[in-house]
Structure formats: C-alpha cells, structure tokens
C-alpha cells in the first residue's frame, strides 16, 4: 500500500479476509488497534436469518419497532441521532401532511413496494438491490428511515412521498453500455484467477448495477427489449447525488445487518444493508478505525484463510473488476484482514454469510467510500 498526497491510505492489493490463523498475531484490544494490511472475502451461500423489523409498508413486526430518538419531521433533514440502537428520550413523532398522505395513497398497490424502494434509495436509505419484492433488505431500510427521520413506521410511505419524484425514468442505452467485453465468470477461484479482468458477464448485469436494480426487474419493466444500443428503457429513478456532508463515524451493527454513516452531530447520512460474519468467521466486534480506501482492487486469494476453500486450491491473484470477490471498493479497517467492501453478487447482500468482513452492494460501498476519511471510527457491534 502507499499514501497519496491527500493523506489517503491507498491499498493496492487485497489479500485475505478471515479470522486470524493460529500463526497470525492475536487481535489487539480495540483501543490499541494497529494499522493493518487489507483483507478480503468471497460470497457464501448459507441462509441468513434477518431480524424482525417492519413489514413492507412500515407496520411494526415483533421486536422491530423503531426508536424515536431523532428530532426531524416530514420534509426536513434528518435530526440528531446516536448510533443505531442507542437509547434516548423519545421525541414526538412527526405527522404527515394531508398532501403527503394523498401522494402516498395515490401510488398503485401493485407498484407500492417498487416505489418505496426507489424513494428509499433516493433518500440514501438503501434497500440493496431494487427488486420490488418484500424482502429483508426492504424491511431494514424502512426501519432505518423511520428511526432516522423520527416518523411512525406506518407513515413512512407518506414521508417518502415528500420527494415528489417519479418512480421510473427513461434511459437511452449507449454504445458504451453494451461495448463489453462481457464474459461468463466462473465460480471456481482458480478459474477466476486465469482471467485478465473480472468485468460484467452481460450488458444487462452492468445496467442493473448502474440503476441499483435486479436484472430481472429491468426485463420486467421493459418487455420485448433486447437491451441494445439506442433502446430507450424504463429504469428505477435512483439517486444521482451524494449525501450532504462527510462521515465522522461508521457503525456496523450485526443485530440488524446494517452499516450506517453518521456525521459529527450524529445525523444519519446514509444507511445500507450488509452481510457480515458467520459461525466460522464472526464479526470482530470492537472500536476500530478506517485506514483508507482502494477502488477497483486486485485480490490475493489465500486458501489458508478460508475455511471453505477447496483442498487443491493454490494462492492466486485475481484481477480487478465488479466481479472481483471484493467488488469495486475495499475500505480497509485497522483490524487485520478485515474491511468493508463490494460484492459480485448484490442479490446475496444481507441474505448469506461472509468470511467475517462486511459486504455491501458495489454501488453502496462506492457511495460510502466517498463519505469516509482515514482515521474515523468504525464501530462494529452486535
């Protein structure tokens, strides 16, 4: 790794994400966490039991009623709020206006889930891969929005309606979008290491990431389209601007599978669903720091660091690209071998286990990378 003129630690290669082996030094106390080399991981396939929160329309489920510790209301910026789950004196819930209630009610029932996911994305409360389905990442985003904006869960749709933007927008596919080259990506790590780039497997996959959407959703929205250059397609009207401000702290919370960026006043800048830890490689709970950011990193695969590696696997260097095991960004933590990073399989975020690191969608970790700075706290809690 090397340090840039701006003081950012630039990690050139990612080299393994796992609990330390017996030959590795013991983890230091959180208060004395050292600078460390980056880690890495691959996507798992174990089922992930998401915590109860709220249903797709914000109605509370057992054990998941949002805290009312913010101070903002409808149409306002997020109010002061501590780390997710922090106790505090409840504030009065903000009430929706008649106009907001009417706007939310006007959304057709068949479009409600998709509309909410697009509006949550625009508000930087990511639902993960937009699919229009009532999944765990959708529920978490609704709960996070309700907590941060200090609104009752059942009024989240009305609060989202204050955005006023359409759910979909038109996009003309460019020659660059379909230029490729597109190649199938093998699952086997040794076969991956033979490729000179781990790019997108198809133009549809690339468009899905551009618009934070499941490729199958794009096909449903555009029946009969072949997704060639010049096609005008309908896509989710996702955010195009970054959250206002810089993060002073990042909180990784295993209890609700979330990563939250907060500013110096404790306001939520953005919240993301995440996959973190497993029985074999638990999340390293503690107070760590962010060392730096690497964009489009290579990945040094070390089978000795992976409990599920194939017996015949050798050490290998994997090329950069969106289908690299750590995706498009690695945010290095002061806990050796651990980081926050992207994924080649966005549909699995929040739904599978990891090798101990914190996995976001590529678009979410790219946004987070622009919010953080070296040295800010990264609090990992469960």
Instruction: Give yes or no for residue 197 having a pLDDT over 60.
Output: yes
Instruction: Give yes or no for residue 70 having a pLDDT over 50.
Output: no
Q: What is the Rg, in whole angstroms, of the alpha carbon atoms belonging to the chain?
A: 21
Same structural domain for residues 351 and 297? yes
Question: Percentage of the chain surpassing pLDDT 90?
Answer: 64
pLDDT at 44: 29
Residue 316 burial by Cβ neighbours in a 10 Å radius (0-12, 13-18, 19+)? middle
Query: 201 or 73: which carries more pLDDT confidence?
Result: 201
Tokens found for residue 95: 């009430």
Instruction: Give yes or no for residue 112 having a pLDDT over 80.
Output: yes
Among residues 236, 267, 287, the one where a domain terminates is 236
Tell me, yes or no, if 138 is annotated catalytic.
no
Query: 17 or 55: which carries more pLDDT confidence?
Result: 17
Other beta carbons within 10 angstroms of residue 74's beta carbon come to 19
Q: What is the pLDDT of residues 337-347, one digit of tens each?
A: 899 999 999 99
Domain encompassing residue 293: 2-46+278-381
Residue 208 burial by Cβ neighbours in a 10 Å radius (0-12, 13-18, 19+)? buried
Instruction: Examine residue 12 and state whether it is found in any structural domain, yes or no.
Output: yes
Same structural domain for residues 372 and 288? yes
Query: 237 or 277: which carries more pLDDT confidence?
Result: 237
Instruction: Give yes or no for residue 77 having a pLDDT over 90.
Output: no
Strand partners, 3: 9
- Backbone φ, ψ for residue 252 (5° rounding): -105, 115
Q: What is the pLDDT of residues 122-137, one digit of tens each?
A: 999 999 999 999 999 9
Among residues 206, 236, 266, the one where a domain terminates is 236
Instruction: Examine residue 25 and state whether it is found in any structural domain, yes or no.
Output: yes
Site of tokens 């038109």: 170
Instruction: Examine residue 284 and state whether it is found in any structural domain, yes or no.
Output: yes
Provide mean pLDDT across the span 32-61.
29
Q: What is the pLDDT of residues 244-275, one digit of tens each?
A: 999 999 999 999 999 999 999 999 999 999 99
Query: 22 or 86: which carries more pLDDT confidence?
Result: 86
Strand partners, 14: 299
Instruction: Examine residue 126 and state whether it is found in any structural domain, yes or no.
Output: no
Instruction: Examine residue 329 and state whether it is found in any structural domain, yes or no.
Output: yes
Q: b/e per residue, 1-14, with b = 16+ CB within 10 A? A: eeeeeeebbebebb
State the pLDDT confidence band at 316, using cuts at 50, 70 and 90.
confident
Please tell me the distance from the alpha carbon of residue 238 to that of residue 165, in angstroms, as a whole number. 10
Instruction: Examine residue 255 and state whether it is found in any structural domain, yes or no.
Output: no
Q: What is the mean pLDDT of the chain?
A: 79
Provide mean pLDDT across the span 202-228.
98
Q: How far is CA 365 from the centre of its chain?
A: 6
pLDDT at 89: 38
Helix, strand, coil percentages (3-state) for the chain, rounded to 5, are 20, 20, 60
Element (H, E) at 136: helix 136-149
Same structural domain for residues 293 and 372? yes
Query: 9 or 204: which carries more pLDDT confidence?
Result: 204
- Backbone φ, ψ for residue 223 (5° rounding): -60, 135
From the candidates 138, 212, 239, 341, give the one annotated as an active-site residue: 341
Same structural domain for residues 291 and 351? yes
Other beta carbons within 10 angstroms of residue 45's beta carbon come to 10
Domains identified in the chain, total number: 2
Same structural domain for residues 226 and 286? no
Bridging pattern class, strands 339-341 and 358-359: parallel
Instruction: Examine residue 244 and state whether it is found in any structural domain, yes or no.
Output: no
Same structural domain for residues 284 and 376? yes
Tokens found for residue 287: 């107070």
Tell me, yes or no, if 341 is annotated catalytic.
yes
Tell me which of 88-92, 110-114, 145-149, 171-175 is least confident.
Answer: 88-92
Among residues 220, 236, 252, the one where a domain terminates is 236
DSSP, res 369 = H
Please tell me the distance from the alpha carbon of residue 130 to that of residue 314, in angstroms, as a whole number. 36
Q: The CATH number of the domain where 351 resides is what?
A: 2.40.440.10
From the candidates 17, 239, 355, 357, give the one annotated as an active-site residue: 357
Instruction: Examine residue 73 and state whether it is found in any structural domain, yes or no.
Output: no
Same structural domain for residues 285 and 351? yes
Question: Percentage of the chain surpassing pLDDT 70?
Answer: 73
């Amino acid at each position: 790794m090397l340090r840039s003129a701006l003081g950012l630690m630039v990690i050139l290669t990612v080299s393994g994400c796992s609990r330390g082996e017996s030959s590795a030094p013991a983890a230091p106390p959180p208060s004395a966490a050292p600078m460390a080399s980056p880690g890495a991981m691959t996507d798992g396939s174990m089922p992930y039991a998401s915590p109860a929160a709220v249903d797709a329309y914000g109605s509370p489920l057992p054990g998941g009623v949002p805290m009312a510790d913010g101070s903002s209301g409808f149409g306002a910026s997020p109010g002061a709020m501590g780390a997710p789950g922090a106790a505090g004196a409840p504030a009065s819930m903000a009430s929706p206006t008649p106009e907001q209630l009417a706007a939310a009610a006007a959304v057709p029932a068949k479009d409600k889930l998709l509309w909410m996911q697009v509006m949550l994305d625009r508000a930087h409360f990511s639902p993960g891969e937009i699919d229009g389905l009532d999944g765990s990442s959708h529920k978490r985003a609704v709960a996070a929005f309700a907590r941060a904006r200090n609104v009752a869960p059942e009024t989240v749709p009305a609060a989202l309606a204050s955005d006023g933007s359409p759910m979909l927008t038109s996009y003309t596919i460019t020659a660059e979008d379909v230029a490729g080259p597109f190649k199938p990506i093998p699952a086997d790590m040794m076969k991956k290491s033979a490729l000179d780039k781990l790019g997108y497997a198809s133009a549809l996959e690339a468009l899905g990431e551009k618009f934070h959407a499941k490729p199958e959703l794009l096909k449903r929205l555009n029946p009969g389209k072949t997704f060639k250059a010049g096609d005008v397609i309908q896509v989710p009207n996702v955010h195009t601007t970054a959250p206002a401000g810089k993060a002073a702290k990042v909180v990784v919370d295993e209890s609700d599978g979330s990563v939250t960026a907060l500013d110096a006043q404790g306001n939520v800048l953005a919240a993301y669903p995440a996959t973190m830890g497993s029985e074999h490689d638990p999340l390293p709970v503690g107070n760590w720091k962010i060392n730096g950011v690497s964009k489009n990193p290579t990945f040094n695969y070390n089978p000795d660091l992976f409990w599920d590696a194939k017996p015949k696997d050798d050490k290998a260097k994997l090329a950069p690209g969106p289908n690299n095991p750590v995706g498009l960004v690695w945010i290095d933590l002061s806990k050796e071998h651990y980081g926050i990073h992207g994924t080649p399989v966005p549909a699995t975020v929040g739904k599978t286990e990891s090798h101990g690191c914190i996995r976001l969608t590529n678009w979410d970790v790219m946004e987070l990378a622009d919010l953080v700075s070296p040295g800010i706290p990264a609090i990992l809690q469960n």
